[in-house]
Amino acid sequence: MDEGKTLKIRLTFSVILVGISLMFAAVVTDHWAVLSHRVEHYNSTCEAAHFGLWRLCTKQFYIQDKATKERSCGLITLTGDRNCSYFKHFSPGQSTEIFERTTQKEYSISAAAIAIFSVGFAIIGTICILLSFRKKMDYLLKPASMFYTFAGLCMIISVEVMRQSVKRMIDSKETIWIEYYYSWSFACACASFVLLFICGIALLLISLPPFPQNPWESCMDAEPEH
């Protein structure tokens, strides 16, 4: 492997590491979406929630600003009592009251499972690319690029499943939530998809042998048959 090709691979791998970091940040945090219900009376308790793939947190605080035009709780960064719990299908000992009121079990399990596949593909791809730096093992670059591409695709599928889950929560008449917005964990997941998918394809192109400039070059260089 020549020095120019090695430099391109190292630069691409550096960007991939950023994408993997964003992916891990999205998977382990619980700020994918923030929900709030309608506020009918000010100077009353308002409940808002934010959740991720594994855990949901709720906050209760008081609304005192009568000049506020919005009829929702507002930003969840406001101070207040915070209560977090893991979804029951991931921790059987936890209470399911909050979970039953907010999200769909099938969507939550699907998004988490697909995200785990994304993490697995990224780990296998990293092992392959680290081994490819050894002599005569650059053939591992092609499977590494495919694993990174698959990791990006799995992450964007998990994002879409989570988006559908939030949409169903807002549209359902059985929940109290009327407004939502996606938070920084959701943005990390989207950014990781872009970096992993693009860099995976770039790594595949880098690992391919150079195309001959002359169409007859490959034929002329072929060894004669004995």
3-207 under CATH 1.20.140.150, yes or no: yes
Could you give the 3-state DSSP secondary structure of residue 57?
strand
User: Element (H or E) spanning 123, and its range?
Assistant: helix 105-132
Distance CA 132, CA 10 (A): 11
Eight-class DSSP state of 223: P
Residue 216 has pLDDT above 80, yes or no: no
Residue 95 has pLDDT above 50, yes or no: no
What pTM does this model have?
0.76
| Alpha helices per DSSP H over 133-183 | 141-171
Distance CA 201, CA 48 (A): 41
pLDDT value of residue 94: 47
Strand order in the sheet with 81-86: 81-86, 55-63, 44-51, 33-37, 177-182
What are the tens digits of pLDDT across the range 98-118?
A: 444 444 667 778 888 999 999
Beta strand 177-182 with 81-86: parallel, antiparallel or unpaired?
unpaired
User: Element (H or E) spanning 85, and its range?
Assistant: strand 81-86
What are the tens digits of pLDDT across the range 3-40?
A: 778 888 889 999 999 999 999 999 998 888 887 766 55
Q: What is the dihedral of CA 124, 127, 129, 135, to 10 degrees?
A: -140
Q: Which residues contact 40 (CB under 8 A, 6 or more apart)?
A: 71
Q: What is the dihedral of CA 146, 151, 157, 161, to 10 degrees?
A: 160
Residue 170 has pLDDT above 60, yes or no: yes
pLDDT value of residue 43: 53
pLDDT above 90 coverage of the chain, percent: 32
* Annotated domain spans of the chain: 3-207
